[in-house]
Amino acid sequence: MSKFDLNAKKPFIIAGPCSAETEEQTLETCKLLAETGMVDVLRAGIWKPRTNPGSFEGVGLKGLAWMAEAKKQTGLPIATEVATPKHVENALEFGFDILWIGARTTVSPFAVQDIAEALRGNKDINVLIKNPMHPDLALWAGAVARFENVGIDEKNIGLIHRGFSYFGASKYRNAPMWHLMLEMRSKFPDMPMICDPSHICGTREYLQEISQTAADMRYDGLMIESHITPDKALSDASQQLTPDGFKKLMSKIRWRAGSKDDPEFIKALGMYRSEIDQLDSEIFELLSRRMKVAEKIGEVKKDNDVAILQERRWGDIVDKVVTQAQKLDLSEEFIKTVLEAIHIESIHRQNKVMNN
């Protein structure tokens, strides 16, 4: 069977269990997923990089044979995660079409280089590279370069956005940081980028909203974890969907068109866009005036030998703006983010005045 073409179909959907656990679980999950008609590639983890030793670390070699059997039975291409050259060698023997680099591997240039060397000159394999655990786009781009440097065609390389780990409690297991994805897309405009809502969410309840955001941001596909009995899964139990749940999720996602030729639509959009451009220019005009005033304050403080940061004054500003924000239908979180950026720049300006 020929290699899967990453650029042939949009969106392309990868689905399958987090881990292959038993032959029956693997084949049954893959069969039911294939029957939905909504899957382009089957996935299963064979070697699992786990936080704690002693957790389920994957079934190893025998799982490769189960996936090869799933490919035979369904006619669908297969994908798995590789973290060492030995994994690469084994997966290639079993006819895998796509190998992906996990988030814990992308952070390690030595490991990525070793994997790339094991694929040197390979014209058939597709490589999908997950974002590193932490939000370092240069490291992610470096991993792409390592595969290009060993002769993997850029058409055979893709990116997976699985979110970023961070300290503290939050709604998602891994922060999506969508704005970073826009930056990554502009670095690699022609490279397919898919979203992995399962690892962003960590629980089933947010899969729909994250998948929809990915569709709205024109991602090229999705990778979704699915298991015949998710609650009994040996890894990532709370984020996996039954094949039926997967089907429901997929059928609710709206993949809207990127643009439309309709003149009415173009006119309406054009009107609002020029309004936005006008408002943006007014916002920056005002910000520039605000910074000039901050500089004047800096001069007054310098003349009087007073420190830049006046905590009470800053607290008053925040309170005032937050109250106003509520009336203006702006969220407190948003307004605080904006205000903080303004404050940092103001301090910077005052600093320049005072120490020049």
Q: Give the binding range for ligand PEP (CB under 6 A) out of 3-11, 56-64, 99-107, 186-194.
A: 99-107
Q: Count Cα neighbours of 127 within 13 Å in the Cβ-side half-sphere.
A: 30
Which letter does DSSP use for residue 4 in this model?
P
Q: Is there binding between residue 45 and ligand PEP (CB under 6 A)?
A: yes
One residue of 59, 103, 233, 234 binding ligand PEP per CB under 6 A: 103
Pick 48 or 247: Cβ nearer ligand PEP: 48
Contact status: 173 vs ligand PEP (CB under 6 A): no
**Minimum CB distance to ligand PEP, residue 232 (Å):** 17
Q: What is the CA radius of gyration of the chain?
A: 25
CA pseudo-torsion sign 323, 328, 334, 340:
negative
CA dist 45 and 162 (Å) reads: 15
The yes or no reply on residue 202 touching ligand PEP (CB under 6 A) is no
Interface with ligand PEP, residue 199, by CB under 6 A: yes
CB atoms within 10 A of CB 11: 18
Cβ proximity to Mn ion: between 18 and 159 the closer is: 18
Minimum distance between the CB of residue 102 and ligand PEP, rounded to whole angstroms?
Answer: 3
Which residues here bind Mn ion, judged by CB under 5 A? Answer: 18, 236
Residue 57 — left, alpha, or beta (φ > 0 → left; ψ -120 to 50 → alpha)?
A: alpha
Rounded to whole angstroms, the Cα distance separating 5 from 105 reads 24
Q: Give the H/E segment covering residue 193.
A: strand 193-195
- Binding-site size for ligand PEP (CB under 6 A) equals 9
Nearer to Mn ion, 18 or 294 (CB): 18
Smallest distance, ligand PEP to C-beta of residue 162, A? 4
- Find the shortest distance in angstroms from Cβ 103 to ligand PEP: 4
- Residue 130's binding partner among Mn ion, ligand PEP, none (Cβ under 5 to 8 angstroms by kind) is ligand PEP
Binding pattern to ligand PEP, positions 288-327, x when CB under 6 A?
----------------------------------------
CA 325 to chain centre: 30
The label of the residue with tokens 């960590």 reads 202
Q: Cβ distance 52 to 235 under 8 Å?
A: no
- By the criterion CB under 6 A, which residues form the site for ligand PEP? 18, 45, 81, 102-104, 130, 162, 199
